[in-house]
Amino acid sequence: MTTIIAFIFVFGLIVFFHELGHFLFAKRAGIMVKDFSIGFGPKIFAYRKKETQYTIRLLPIGGYVRMAGEDGEEIELKPGYRVGLELTPEETVSKIIVNGKDQYVNVQPIEVSLCDLEKELFIEGYEDYDDTKKVRYQVERDALVIDGKIETMITPYDRSFNAKSLGNRAMTIFAGPLFNFILAILIFTALAFVQGGVPSTDNTLGNVLPDGAAAEAGLKKGDEVLSINGKETKSWTDIVQNVSENPGKTLDFKIERDGKTQDIDVKPATQKENGKDVGKIGVETPMDSSFTAKITNGFTQTWNWIVQIFTILGNMFTGGFSLDMLNGPVGIYTSTQQVVQYGFMTVLNWTAVLSINLGIVNLLPLPALDGGRLMFFLYELVRGKPIDPKKEGIIHFAGFALLMVLMILVTWNDIQRAFF
C-alpha cells in the first residue's frame, strides 16, 4: 500500500507540474484551455471553472492540457440546421441548443442560414422556421453549444492556439518540460534546507562517528586535512581516495584546527566493497550549510542530472539500443518500491530525478512529444509558414501509435524482469 501511495504521489506531482507549465503559459498567451487532466481513462473527479474542466482520471501515468484549436476541432452549424437560442436580456446568444430543445424554456427556435462562431460571432436564420422572419444575433464569446448532454464552449479565433504568435505557441509547448526542471530545482533546494546543507568538496571533515578510527585517533568535525602521508589533499575526494587505498595502514594526517597545525596518526579499518579491501575511518562527508549553497544546490543538482541523462541517452544510441535500457510504468513502480524503503526524503529525491527524465524525454524531437511539436515550429520559422495541419496531425498520430507500441513492449519487458 505504501508503494502504491508513493507511486501515485511521485507520478501525480511530476505530471501535475508538467501540465501546469502548459496551462499557465497558455493562459498567459490568451489561449482558451478546455481541459486540464491528470491521468488517463475514466474520470474519478471533475470540476468546471469558467471555460476549463479540471479532471483526475483513473490511470496515473500521464495527463494533458487540451487547448482550443490545438487539435483542429470546430463547431459547425450548417445552413438548414434547426436550433434553439437562449438569449440574454441584451438579445445576444448565450446558448445554442442543437438537440434537446424541449428541455429548455424561453428558447428561440430558428433555422440557420449563416453562422460564424469563430471570428464575427453571429448567427443568422429564420425565426420559428419561417423564411419571412429573418433574424441575426450576435453570439457571446463564452456561449455554449448544447448537443444533448454534451456542452461545448465556442472558441473565438483569437482565443485559439493557432491564432497566437509562433513565439507564444512554442513557449506554451516548451513550458511543460521547463516546469519539470523547475520542480526538480524546487525539490533539490528544499532537501538542502531540510537536511541542513549540501555535501561539500572541501578538504575538511564532516561528522566523526564515535566508534570509528578517526574518533579513536582524535580527529574532530571541522578539521582541515592539509596532507596525508605528506601528499597534499585539496578536496574531500582526495581524503577519501587516500583512506580507501590504504586499509589497515597507519596514515599521517596533517590537519589544521583552530588556526594551529598538528599531525595525527590514523589507522583505517578494513572493509569489503565489491570483493575488494578498502579503508574506512568513520567520517561523514562535510556539509556546506550556507544559505547560498542551499539555494544553488537545486540548480547545480538539476544541471548535473541533465548532463548525466543526456550522456546515458547518447550512449544508448551510439552503443546499441536495447529495450532493457528503458523503464515503463511497471519498471518505475518497481524502482519506487525499492526507494520507499529509504524514507520520504529519498522518495523526494527520486521524484526530482524522474521529473528531469520526463522533461528531457518530452524534448526529444519525436512526433507526439513536445520536442516533436517544437521541431514543427522550427520548420515554420525557417519556411515562413506552418505545415498543413492535416499532415502534421497524421504525423503526430503515427508517432503516438509508435510510442504506444513501444510503451507496450517496454511494459511487457518490465513485467518479465519483475515477475519471471
19 is an active site residue: yes
Contact 373, 71 (CB under 8 A): no
Strand ranges in 30-129 using DSSP code E only, listed in sequence order: 33-49, 52-67, 82-87, 93-99, 108-116, 122-127
Give the DSSP H or E segment for 65.
Answer: strand 52-67
Nearest to 308 by CA among 296, 319, 298, 316: 316
- All 3 cell numbers of residue 410? 517496454
Q: How far is CA 400 from the centre of its chain?
A: 18
- All 3 cell numbers of residue 414? 518490465
Where would I find the H helices in 231-369?
236-244, 291-318, 329-340, 344-362
Q: What are phi and psi of 119, to 5 degrees?
A: -110, -65
Q: What are phi and psi of 111, to 5 degrees?
A: -105, 120
Provide the phi-psi class of 294: left if phi over 0, else alpha when psi is between -120 and 50, else beta: alpha
- The single-letter DSSP state of residue 386 is P
- All 3 cell numbers of residue 405? 507500441
Contact 144, 135 (CB under 8 A): no
Nearest to 141 by CA among 163, 123, 169, 118: 118
Provide the phi-psi class of 173: left if phi over 0, else alpha when psi is between -120 and 50, else beta: alpha
Set 19, 86, 111, 140: catalytic member: 19
Contact 403, 366 (CB under 8 A): yes
Helix, strand, or coil (residue 204): strand
Helix, strand, or coil (residue 120): coil
Tally the residues of the chain: 420
> Rounded to a whole number, what is the distance in angstroms from the first to the last CA of the chain?
22
Beta-carbon count within 10 A of 17 CB: 22
Place of cell 521541431: 375
Q: What are phi and psi of 211, to 5 degrees?
A: -105, 20
Beta-carbon count within 10 A of 6 CB: 19
Which residues does the annotation mark as catalytic? 19
